[in-house]
Structure 1
Amino acid sequence: MSALWTSGTALAAVGGSSSGSAWEGSGVSIDTRTLEPGDLFVALRDRRDGHDFVAEAFRKGAAAALVSRVPGDVGRDACLLICDDVQAGLERLAAASRSRTDAKLVAVTGSAGKTSTKEMLRHVLGRQGRTHASEASFNNHWGVPLTLARMPPDADYAVIEIGMNRPGEIAPLARMARPHVAIVTTVAPAHLEAFSGIEEIAIEKGSIFQGLEPGGVAVFNADVETAPILEAEARLHAARQVGFGECAQAVLRAERMTLTAEASVVEGRLDDGSFLMKIGAPGRHLAMNAMSAIGAASLAGADLDIAVCDIGSWRVPKGRGRHETILLDPVDNLGIELIDDAFNANPASMAAALEVLAVTQPAAGTGRAAAGRRIAILGDMLELGSGEALLHAQLADHPAMERIDRVICVGQRVRALHDALPGERQGPWVRTAEELAETVHRHLSAGDVVLVKGSKGSRASLVAEAIRALGKVHAGDEQKELD
């Protein structure tokens, strides 16, 4: 296998100077905890200064290190690539990587559904060619260039996730990625601390289209209130504009949708062709994400019919709405169904998760309760600005709440939702996820369906892990593990 980077190609891309002998690198790493032998270690400065870990990187087998100064604890013959600014050096490495590939590149942003859509694209495109995609949620000022720098030159497709926390962040990353197809999954109240309103969020999301290659295609959610803003941005920068959704204006349109607790089926149309798509996961939001993914795959040159078939074998990642059965008593087959959606939350994704819980059927008469219950364990939604209390409280009036038996709230901000709930639905309010993780078993019974969701900073994932620890997990992929 040919090297991803050599001392010569990396120096030509980054500039600066080098030391040590010639080297070949098989990957790029910014974290010594996950570094593989042969990686180029990039000594970024973030919460910690990466220069403090260069020696450790070499001990773990790094081929070379990209630095802005020579660390005092490395040998004089160390293979170093020295530049004025490591972040800028990584970005130049990314630009060189992007320039040397013929891969069709799809970029994804949105207030919710970015990572799920990216993973769907990875799945369907990976069946039709060598596909490179962002790891985890590497979607920020270092995640995007890192993903590009890791891209194999012979990739057929690439999928880049782009996120933001404040205005002006998406367009530079999109221009770095230079996608052939760019997707805006949805626009919703998120990161409102940094924006004046949802219209400004839509403008920022739509700025992904500024990075499109000549002849590029803009794919955007045509059902959202801010669709006209997205379409206007698309017309400025894209050769073709493709709205997706259920509305009559959508070019990529869901003409009929069937949603069950186990699956979502869409009868859809793209241009003059029709398709029947099924995914093994519940939820309108996931069905819409899947439709945008197969549409974008087709617009990037993949075969639509094959993509429609392959999306059926995609599975929800951990923490993003995956359904798992927690066996409390394997002998009697008594358990809890966990919906782990604890990775992140905003009002739109919270509403989508509640809708999934509402259609998921609990088991009857197997536990302490006379029948299984639908229980929502909800953590804080962060970065919502001055209107955060109202946005939390409004969830109490969501139609899906009518089918939910009990809501347990954890965190200071979600207290507003707790106070707005009717008494028969109001579970306990708990100050921290750590406290609830210790006592969550007291609130659950065999037969219950339990949704866990909250912003990453709410640490709702601790509660999901505590529920897993109650028994043996049977995940959707049929793999079993004992936590």
Structure 2
Amino acid sequence: MSFHPALRAWPRDKRDALGLALWTSAGIAEATGGVASGAFQCAGVEIDSRDVRSGDLFVALKGEATDGHRFLAKAFANGAAAALVSEPIDAPHVLVADTTEALAKLAAASRVRAQAVRVGVTGSVGKTGVKEAIFAALDRSSRGAAHRSVRSYNNHVGVPLSLARMPSRSRFGVFEMGMNHAGEIAGLTQHVRPNVAVITTIAPAHIENLGSEEAIADAKAEIFGGLADGGTAVIPADSVHYDRLLVHAREAGAKVVSFGRAAHAQARLLDAIPSANGGSLVTADIAGTRLCYSVAEPGDHWIMNSLAVMAAVQAAGGDLAAAGLALAEMGGLKGRGARHRVAVPGGHALLIDESYNANPASMRATLKQLGQTPATRRIAVLGSMKELGDFAPAMHAQLIEPLAEAHVDHVVLVGDEMLSLSRELGKAGAAQLAAPLTFTHCGSPGEAIAALEEFGLTGGDAVLVKGSNSVGLGRLVAHFVDRGR
């Protein structure tokens, strides 16, 4: 049989020799030091029996509140091919001394075998969106050979789980890292050992635990401590903490790339104008190359995010053109900017779902975005911002300024922490308000639903829903989206 010369010259890659199964019993046993009950293959890794799909490896983790071994029957009923356990069972398994430790070892083995270029993303605001955008860009340029952490799997369990799920043939891996306390990212970055480490921004999220923005910057900068040799740190050039982050990055031996408006930024914004789809048309200088690209997501914060994405993609060896296309096509994530057209009397209202997270910086950014959204009336449903500690009353009260600047017509406040803003709005003749602003304070999402129903949405309204996830405003979003279908 003869072959076309082009086929004979098809480039070969060492990854082509790797197996197609995510894990085999032999591979799991070798990685974890465990003992396999027999031969089997797994297509995925899961720690929640409710999420197990056919072919998954179920890892029975033992925590303070519960023991995954209690849910083995449910996992196998849902289609698990095998389990990683610390107690013998009468089903396909790998037996180890400690399943949490074994998951970490599985993650390390996955990192080593794939040899993918790894990007780690952290920051006070925007890390999930930036992670998704970097993944979309690298996945496009590698034709599907990129991997990333799903949802917000960014903690001491989610990060190793995401690594353990990385296919051996991956060329890129993108991992989000979160924290509530100092020292947490230091552990996560040792799992990932990123080639590129991105800090999106520094803001007073989790300030209750850390005490100051400087301490937050130090905690986020722990990501540089795990950088692989020759790694790159991507940091915000416009941040007041730029010099602090720069010192941390240099101490880690990183190559530093900054992004923003500042003249010294290597990924520098030259111009941005609104585009027809509600996003932005951006002109930027990326390490001496001038690029024009569209960003589908609205808001100045996404213009800045796009620069971080471009810097990270270039540092990872990805394609900037693919990154531009990915940014142009990105839609809002559930709880993080997803936009819904809701049928209401008189037409449709726009509902902006930012219900997953909130801190002072992200509140200001999304309220600014609301102010730039064409609407007959602008309505904000704002839930409490958590983990602000003693700073909470002042930081909630200060939201009166961005509310006024956004020309918001009506506000529904939800949660005890919002009482300080409620009092501020209630002051007669509040100097910050150029026009009357009506408001109501509620103790729960259920009360907020009733309050917004009573207020009455009409065609042309734009509604922003934003708060910390624990407030539960996702319930309000689901109520109005499902009702308006």
Instruction: Give the TM-score taking structure 1 as reference length.
Output: 0.91
Partner of 2:334: 318
Q: Residues 23-422 of structure 1 correspond to what in structure 2 (within 5 A)?
A: 23-46=40-63, 47-70=65-88, 74-75=89-90, 78-129=91-142, 130-259=145-274, 262-328=278-344, 334-362=347-375, 372-398=376-402, 401-421=405-425, 422=430
Counterpart Cα distance in 2 of 1:16 and 1:273 = 51
Structure 2 letter corresponding to 1:194: N
Counterpart Cα distance in 2 of 1:62 and 1:309 = 37
Give the SS at the match of 2:398. Answer: helix
Counterpart Cα distance in 2 of 1:305 and 1:415 = 47
Asked if the contact 1:440–1:466 (Cα under 8 Å) also holds between the matched residues in 2, the reply is: no
Q: 2:476 aligns with which of 463, 468, 476?
A: 463
Q: 1:304 to 1:114 in 2, by over 3 A?
A: same
Aligned length: 454
Counterpart Cα distance in 2 of 1:174 and 1:238 = 15
Q: Please report how far the alpha carbon of residue 238 of structure 1 lies from its aligned counterpart in structure 2 after TM superposition.
A: 4.0
Query: What is the identity percentage for the equivalent residue pairs of Structure 1 and Structure 2?
Result: 40
Structure 1 residues 408-443: Cα deviation after superposition (integer angstroms, max 9, x where no partner): 101100111121124822411111112212342222
Partner of 2:444: 432
Asked if the contact 2:202–2:241 (Cα under 8 Å) also holds between the matched residues in 1, the reply is: yes
Asked if the contact 2:137–2:319 (Cα under 8 Å) also holds between the matched residues in 1, the reply is: no
Counterpart Cα distance in 1 of 2:467 and 2:66 = 27
Q: 1:397 to 1:34 in 2, by over 3 A?
A: same
Structure 1 letter corresponding to 2:252: H
Q: Please report how far the alpha carbon of residue 69 of structure 1 lies from its aligned counterpart in structure 2 after TM superposition.
A: 2.1
Q: 1:402 to 1:339 in 2, by over 3 A?
A: closer
CA RMSD of aligned residues (A): 1.6
Structure 2 letter corresponding to 1:9: G
Counterpart Cα distance in 2 of 1:278 and 1:60 = 42
Q: Which moved more, 1:261-270 or 1:157-166?
A: 261-270
Q: Please report how far the alpha carbon of residue 274 of structure 1 lies from its aligned counterpart in structure 2 after TM superposition.
A: 0.9
Asked if the contact 2:133–2:326 (Cα under 8 Å) also holds between the matched residues in 1, the reply is: no
Counterpart Cα distance in 1 of 2:385 and 2:411 = 15
Structure 2 letter corresponding to 1:393: A
Partner of 1:366: none
Q: Please report how far the alpha carbon of residue 464 of structure 1 lies from its aligned counterpart in structure 2 after TM superposition.
A: 1.4
Counterpart Cα distance in 1 of 2:210 and 2:158 = 23
Give the SS at the match of 1:445. Answer: coil
Q: Please report how far the alpha carbon of residue 34 of structure 1 lies from its aligned counterpart in structure 2 after TM superposition.
A: 1.4
Counterpart Cα distance in 2 of 1:402 and 1:344 = 20
Partner of 1:449: 462
Give the SS at the match of 2:416. Answer: coil
Asked if the contact 2:237–2:258 (Cα under 8 Å) also holds between the matched residues in 1, the reply is: yes
Counterpart Cα distance in 1 of 2:395 and 2:356 = 19
Counterpart Cα distance in 1 of 2:28 and 2:401 = 56
Asked if the contact 2:50–2:74 (Cα under 8 Å) also holds between the matched residues in 1, the reply is: no
Counterpart Cα distance in 1 of 2:81 and 2:484 = 43
Q: Please report how far the alpha carbon of residue 235 of structure 1 lies from its aligned counterpart in structure 2 after TM superposition.
A: 0.9
Structure 1 residues 441-475: Cα deviation after superposition (integer angstroms, max 9, x where no partner): 22232121110000001111112122213312xxx
Q: Please report how far the alpha carbon of residue 259 of structure 1 lies from its aligned counterpart in structure 2 after TM superposition.
A: 3.9
Asked if the contact 1:279–1:287 (Cα under 8 Å) also holds between the matched residues in 2, the reply is: yes
Q: 1:404 to 1:185 in 2, by over 3 A?
A: same
Which runs of no fewer than 5 residues in structure 1 stay unpaired?
A: 363-371, 473-483
Q: 1:445 to 1:61 in 2, by over 3 A?
A: closer
Structure 1 residues 5-46: Cα deviation after superposition (integer angstroms, max 9, x where no partner): 11111111111333x321111110111111111111101134
Q: 1:83 to 1:357 in 2, by over 3 A?
A: same
Q: Which moved more, 1:254-263 or 1:122-131?
A: 254-263
Structure 2 letter corresponding to 1:220: I
Structure 1 residues 326-374: Cα deviation after superposition (integer angstroms, max 9, x where no partner): 1225xx6x01111111111011111111011000011xxxxxxxxx211
Q: 1:426 to 1:420 in 2, by over 3 A?
A: farther
Partner of 1:479: none
Q: Please report how far the alpha carbon of residue 400 of structure 1 lies from its aligned counterpart in structure 2 after TM superposition.
A: 5.5
Asked if the contact 1:328–1:470 (Cα under 8 Å) also holds between the matched residues in 2, the reply is: no
Q: Tell whether 2:27 aligns with 1:9.
A: yes
Q: Which moved more, 1:194-203 or 1:460-469?
A: 460-469
Counterpart Cα distance in 2 of 1:451 and 1:51 = 42
